[in-house]
Amino acid sequence: MSAAHVPGPGANVAERRKELGLSQVALARRAGVSVSLLSKIEVGNRALTQGVGASLARAMNLTLDELLGSTPEANLNELNWAIRRFDIPGEPPERPETLQREVDELNQLRWNTELSKVLQRLPGVLTRVTNYAHLIEEPKAWGLVADAYGVVYWLAARHRWMYLAELATLKQRMAADRADPVTAIVAARDDAGTFLNSGDFSGGLAIVDRAIVRAESTLTGRDRAFGLGVLHLRGLTLAGRLKDKQSTRRHVDAAWRMVGEIPEEMARHGMQFGPEQTATHVISTASDMEQHRSALETGEQLIRSGMTLPANRVAPVHMNLGRSQLALGDQDATLESLEKVWATSPEMAAVHPTSLELTRVLVSLHKRSNERLTRIAQRAGIAL
């Protein structure tokens, strides 16, 4: 899978606005933002946040993912074939005893942000686990199917292939209903993610709140703490995008209470939960809420403690620190954070809207040649 050559999301705003024949004044009025902010976003002097992006998208009758722009699609024929045959039993796998390991390896590639390898392996793994689940019709087997679809959702969300993301979560929920309560909670978390990706933050919160009620009534012990933990992390992200301080605080406090029951990092069904994972979400949400110094302080504490999280969580930490550094006018620190993103997760850096947007704005703001920034811009496919 080649790196995507998609302009930073803010560059798409002007293009879509002009397609609709809207002036900056008209769009700003519809979206409830200032003309000055909109102008700076379009020319690259300010980064487009997903909260503002969602407002602009609604004003143009678009979803957030449509406004941000998706990456060019790879060849998805094999993956689509495997998904299409969800309800059609096929040839059973020759070695069913290896299926758990195959799904675990998929999730390891996911955590390492090796997007190309994930796409390469997904169709085969998805076909084998689905055929095996039809053969034995046991909850554990359907749990593997749900976990594999969780990887499909993750891959699709990273590229903003939202039709595929929504189809994946539909199949994930269907498989999870035949599995166990924890699997169903993880599926609900991913379902809420499709609302997050499309900019329907309030809809996503409704999904989370409903799943929390379900988790509280069906789970016990560490299962309960884990399930509620991953839901509250999704909830605080959604509430932060809405700038709903009360809901954000409620989810943050609840997540930290669950950390009290799971004081170490715990991984299940491709999800991670624990103190470090919670801190990464607090950093992201603080940046969304424009509490930039708080985001940087939390980030410094997390980094000093020695992060043990995999690349798919470490890279977003540096992206979100970069957002706050840029908002506070520290371009050198932002560039350093971007370099860490590329060093940690080059395939994610090439497609993630935050990475692309930070690069676009730094290129716009820099008035003199900078070899480090030039290298990143070239890798991201952003014109200098």
- Evaluate if residue 384 carries a pLDDT over 90: no
Q: Check residue 276 and give its pLDDT.
A: 97
Q: Check residue 4 and give its pLDDT.
A: 41
In a domain, 313, yes or no: no
| Closest to 134 measured CA to CA, from 125, 145, 123, 124 | 145
In a domain, 169, yes or no: yes
Q: For the purposes of burial, counting CB atoms within 10 Å of the CB of 124, is it exposed (0-12), middle (13-18) or buried (19 or more)?
A: middle
Q: How many CA within 13 A on the CB side of residue 167? A: 16
- Range scoring the smallest mean pLDDT among 59-73, 121-135, 255-269: 59-73
In a domain, 324, yes or no: no
Residue environment code for 4-22, b if the CB has 16+ CB neighbours within 10 A, otherwise e: bebbbbbbbbbebbeeeeb
Domain assignment of residue 83, given as a range: 74-179
Cβ–Cβ < 8 Å for 379, 346: yes
Q: Check residue 8 and give its pLDDT.
A: 59
Q: Check residue 356 and give its pLDDT.
A: 93
pLDDT band, residue 382 (cuts 50/70/90): confident
Higher model confidence: residue 221 or residue 75?
Answer: 221
Structure confidence by residue, pLDDT tens digits, 272-297:
999 999 999 999 999 999 999 999 99
- Evaluate if residue 87 carries a pLDDT over 50: yes
Structure confidence by residue, pLDDT tens digits, 161-180:
999 999 999 999 999 999 99
| Closest to 1 measured CA to CA, from 72, 69, 70, 65 | 72
Q: Check residue 91 and give its pLDDT.
A: 94
Cβ–Cβ < 8 Å for 120, 83: no
Q: Three-class SS of residue 272?
A: strand
Residue in the block written with tokens 């997390």: 302
Could you tell me what percent of the chain has a pLDDT over 90? 88
Q: What is the mean pLDDT of residues 200-215?
A: 98
- Describe the chain by its helix, strand, coil percentages, rounded to 5: 75, 0, 25
In a domain, 162, yes or no: yes
Could you tell me what percent of the chain has a pLDDT over 70? 98
What are the φ and ψ backbone dihedral angles of 34, each rounded to 5 degrees?
Answer: -80, 150
Q: What is the rounded CA–CA span in Å between residue 68 and residue 49?
A: 10
Q: Check residue 381 and give its pLDDT.
A: 85
- Evaluate if residue 68 carries a pLDDT over 90: no
Whether the full predicted model's pTM is greater than 0.85, yes or no, is yes
Structure confidence by residue, pLDDT tens digits, 246-270:
999 999 999 999 999 999 999 999 9
| CA angle centred on 362, ends 367 and 60, rounded to 5° | 120
In a domain, 306, yes or no: no
- Range scoring the smallest mean pLDDT among 11-25, 178-192, 199-213: 11-25
In a domain, 159, yes or no: yes
- Evaluate if residue 329 carries a pLDDT over 60: yes
- Evaluate if residue 204 carries a pLDDT over 80: yes
Q: Three-class SS of residue 267?
A: strand
Q: Check residue 298 and give its pLDDT.
A: 97
DSSP secondary structure letters along 78-146 = HHHHHHHTTTS--PPPS-GGGHHHHHHHHHHHHHTT-HHHHHHHHHHHHHHHHHHHHHH--HHHHHHHH
Q: Check residue 241 and give its pLDDT.
A: 96
Q: Check residue 198 and give its pLDDT.
A: 94
Please state the domain count of the chain: 1
Q: Check residue 366 and give its pLDDT.
A: 83
In a domain, 114, yes or no: yes
- Evaluate if residue 245 carries a pLDDT over 90: yes
Q: Check residue 2 and give its pLDDT.
A: 37
Q: Check residue 72 and give its pLDDT.
A: 78
C-alpha separations of 167 from 60, 161, 172, 326 in Å: 25, 10, 9, 36
- Evaluate if residue 80 carries a pLDDT over 80: yes
Torsion angle in degrees (nearest 10) through CA of 264, 337, 160, 82: -50
- Evaluate if residue 140 carries a pLDDT over 90: yes
Find the length of the chain: 384
Structure confidence by residue, pLDDT tens digits, 357-378:
999 999 998 877 789 999 999 9
Higher model confidence: residue 74 or residue 325?
Answer: 325
Cβ–Cβ < 8 Å for 143, 345: no
In a domain, 240, yes or no: no
Q: Check residue 361 and give its pLDDT.
A: 93
Cβ–Cβ < 8 Å for 280, 240: no
